[in-house]
Amino acid sequence: MIRRTIQAAAEHGAAIAAIRARDTVKRSDDAGTIVETLRREEIYLAQTPQAFRVSILRDALALADDATDEAALAERAGHKVRLVEGDPRNLKVTTPEDLAMAEHLLRADASRAALRIGNGYDLHRLVAGRPLILGGVTIPFDKGLQGHSDADAVCHAVTDAILGAAGAGDIGRHFPDTDPAWKDANSLDLLRRAAGLVHDAGYSVVNIDIVVIAQQPKVGPHVDSIRANLASALSCDASQISVKGKTNEGVDSVGAGESIAVHAVALVGRR
């Protein structure tokens, strides 16, 4: 609404946000008797913001007249003021009752925040005799990740991140490693199921940022395939997913090549 008002002022010199009257508008005399019914199609209720070229605003403020807003002074100074579409929720706080309504609207907006962030983390030991699967890609290596499912740490971290962003629990709650149903499960499938839970909660993925921490092997050659797999599972575009590979500079079990860790951050938005 601010952008619309500024754009109109740039083009026409002066502009205000306003909403069309929804109720039938009456004009009364001092005694409170109706003297005229106005055409509500011609009635607009002025809001903030109001925008002006500097020269027009100076002309308006140079007038000594009483007015309830700058637009009225600009009109009296002979300038045309453009109307742009306002918003019924754009409440102007004038009375204590307005303040109570504004607080109510703020609480309601906070409860249905448009964007939410979730954080995910996973770590698995590297062991012999297991395939190394990251983001649904089987990477040639002499060890793989140990776990109840296929131990795809990338999918697990992303699953936790999107579930956390939507306030829908975590991977252990929905796919516990004590349940034989998830033994050797394909983690891309688990991610796809988690994405369905996020969708049911009213959210969709905006973007995912992933850091794979592994001393070996190098993740870089497989990044595009990982992004494509995750995008398919999340029903989004690969451009919404970032995957970065890092080493741990020889520190702890990851740096010693005994494990791989993954961090993921997910941003989800209301559908």
CB 109 within 8 A of CB 43: no
Last residue of a domain, one of 72, 92, 111: 111
Contact 259, 123 (CB under 8 A): yes
79 in Cβ contact with 59 (< 8 Å): yes
Is there a single domain that holds both residue 140 and residue 234? yes
* Residue 87 shares a structural domain with residue 140: no
91: domain CATH number is: 3.90.550.10
The count of domains in the chain is: 2
Per-residue pLDDT of the chain (271 residues; tens, 9 = 90+): 999 999 999 999 999 999 999 999 999 999 999 999 999 999 999 999 999 999 999 999 999 788 889 999 999 999 999 999 999 888 888 899 999 888 888 777 665 667 899 999 999 999 999 999 999 999 999 999 999 999 999 999 999 999 999 999 999 999 998 999 999 999 999 999 999 999 999 899 999 999 999 999 999 999 999 999 999 999 999 999 999 999 999 999 999 999 999 999 999 998 7
Assess contact for 187 and 152: CB atoms under 8 A. Answer: yes
Give the residue among 9, 1, 110 at the shortest CA–CA distance from 47: 1
The reply to whether 99 and 124 lie within a common domain is no
Q: Which of 111, 133, 154 is the last residue of a domain?
A: 111
Q: Tell me, yes or no, whether 107 and 120 share the same domain.
A: no
Which domain range does residue 235 map to?
A: 115-270
Pair (141, 61) in one structural domain: no
Buried b (16+ CB within 10 A) or exposed e, 51-63: bbbeebbebbeee
Q: Which CATH number covers residue 249?
A: 3.30.1330.50
**Tokens coding 79:** 């300038």
Q: Are residues 25 and 155 in the same domain?
A: no
Residues 6+ positions from 190 with CB-CB distance below 8 Å: 149, 155, 156, 159, 171, 174, 175, 182
Q: Are residues 98 and 186 in the same domain?
A: no
Q: Within this chain, do residues 60 and 149 fall inside the same structural domain, yes or no?
A: no
